[in-house]
Structure 1
């Protein structure tokens, strides 16, 4: 996967072809980096399992294998100068996309097995345990948004044998005005926003908890941070972890709803703004309550060791 990322980076530098409004090598580059980050994050989570590691190893191997097949097919279509996703222009293109769809299903099922193992695992630090469990479930939901993209658009339904079936965008055609780097539509909804945000939970939520643990450690060394000493209480960190996970899940649902209504990320209507405001207010209030002192005094627990890889993916699995 690292080799494909390097090859794609070279392709971006030397190949000026454009496909669906973006450099033709942009998709394999972002996908390869995403798969690397996703696999490393899952591998770290699997290392936390006290039992079921063999099952987890097989599930992780399935995820890695499906990712590799997906990347080979994406790169193949780039070399051919055509689209990989939603492409039914020729029998060969349709076969490639159908295989890709199958690999995504296999990948999602492998990640589901890992999520179920994490739900059953007795991880020492409860705050980290629930952060890992909930982030894996949110990431599964984020990956599942990709299945919404394969639905034909109204324009495609009105056409006999359309060459493209499915789209990232909602209400506007793919390849229109878009944001730099991400390529998300700026004139309509884009399901990749929620897809990307949901899958980032696998890295961001554990990272939040690691920051809290680091602040608790520093509070003992620096008097100015003494007010953060309560973060050493595992129960406080657990409440904050649950609050962060709930707020993240709510934001993911809001982004999905916004995209399905054909609304661009930075052009929210009143309903979207109201939803975002509610998440901020309720999340802030819950965080404040979570920081309240625990009756009986602090119950410090060892801070979790930082993972060897918490890199954020830069692209969704099925875009």
Structure 2
């Protein structure tokens, strides 16, 4: 589902970029790597083994290595699209905010995933078993931080589409999308820092708790503002 949502977002992004071979190639890398990752993970589960950190046979080790390498292609494609959006973006300002903030979060999530991979591989080497759960420190939820990163793009994209297609003016659409982007960034930062602190998601530090709640409320308030302004009588 995550890969499918990412591919949808990339197709939406292409509509706002100049039609160049290298932007199409970058999108192709994202699509190819997403499909390949989904197929490899599904195949491993169909074979009755873990999709990650499984090196029981040469086949498992080869697939595990391929999964890790294919992700690099996905990140490369995302970075190229981010550069393209910075250089020339042909959509509205609200959509540009959604694209820039959303695409920036994807490599950040990859960085978290790389740290998770290192911990998982070390655990497998030490124990010979695939870790059931990967934690940063005692209770840091690496999976949660890793999962939130790629999906800000879809959240902000949908909001930008609604704002620009509705009755909001250009400035209002930018303000609403910018509000959501700021809230999402704060939320993502708070859960990431909490994870690296080794704390459970529901037990952050005082500062991160404030940032987490503020980010969540700001993100949730943005669509409410958009709908309220759209419903206002003309």
What TM-score, normalized by structure 1, do the two folds share? 0.60
- Report the counterpart of residue 9 of structure 2 in structure 1: 41
Secondary structure of the residue aligned to 2:119 is coil
Residues 131 and 205, structure 1, Cα contact 8 Å, conserved in 2: yes
- Report the counterpart of residue 101 of structure 2 in structure 1: 134
Residues 136 and 202, structure 1, Cα contact 8 Å, conserved in 2: yes
Residues 60 and 110, structure 1, Cα contact 8 Å, conserved in 2: yes
Instruction: Choose which of 81, 89, 98 in structure 1 pairs with 2:56.
Output: 89
**Alpha-carbon distance, 1:278 to partner:** 5.0
Q: Distance in 2 between matches of 1:154 and 1:79?
A: 22
- Report the counterpart of residue 134 of structure 2 in structure 1: 168
**Alpha-carbon distance, 1:128 to partner:** 1.9
Alignment size in residue pairs: 223
Change (3 A) 1:264 1:67: same
Instruction: Choose which of 199, 208, 232 in structure 1 pairs with 2:150.
Output: 199
**Alpha-carbon distance, 1:163 to partner:** 4.3
Change (3 A) 1:280 1:72: closer
- Report the counterpart of residue 188 of structure 2 in structure 1: 252
Q: Is structure 2 residue 203 aligned with structure 1 residue 235? A: no
Of structures 1 and 2, the one with the larger relative CO (CA 8 A, separation 6+) is 1
Residues 92 and 164, structure 2, Cα contact 8 Å, conserved in 1: no
Residues 150 and 165, structure 1, Cα contact 8 Å, conserved in 2: no
Structure 2: state its 5+ residue gaps: 227-234
What TM-score, normalized by structure 2, do the two folds share? 0.79
Residues 151 and 167, structure 1, Cα contact 8 Å, conserved in 2: no
Q: Residues 77-156 of structure 1: matches in 2 within 5 Å? A: 77-152=44-119, 156=123
Change (3 A) 1:167 1:117: farther
* C-alpha distance after superposition, 1:241-291 (max 9, x if no partner): 23321221121111111122233323444343233245468x59xx8xx99
Residues 110 and 146, structure 2, Cα contact 8 Å, conserved in 1: yes
Instruction: Choose which of 26, 36, 39 in structure 2 pairs with 1:69.
Output: 36
Residues 170 and 261, structure 1, Cα contact 8 Å, conserved in 2: yes
| Structure number having the greater helix percentage | 2
Change (3 A) 1:245 1:81: same
- Cα RMSD (Å): 3.2
**Alpha-carbon distance, 1:164 to partner:** 3.8
Residues 51 and 121, structure 1, Cα contact 8 Å, conserved in 2: no
Change (3 A) 1:45 1:87: same
Secondary structure of the residue aligned to 1:122 is coil
> More deviation in 86-95 or 251-260?
86-95
- Report the counterpart of residue 232 of structure 2 in structure 1: none
Change (3 A) 1:122 1:96: closer
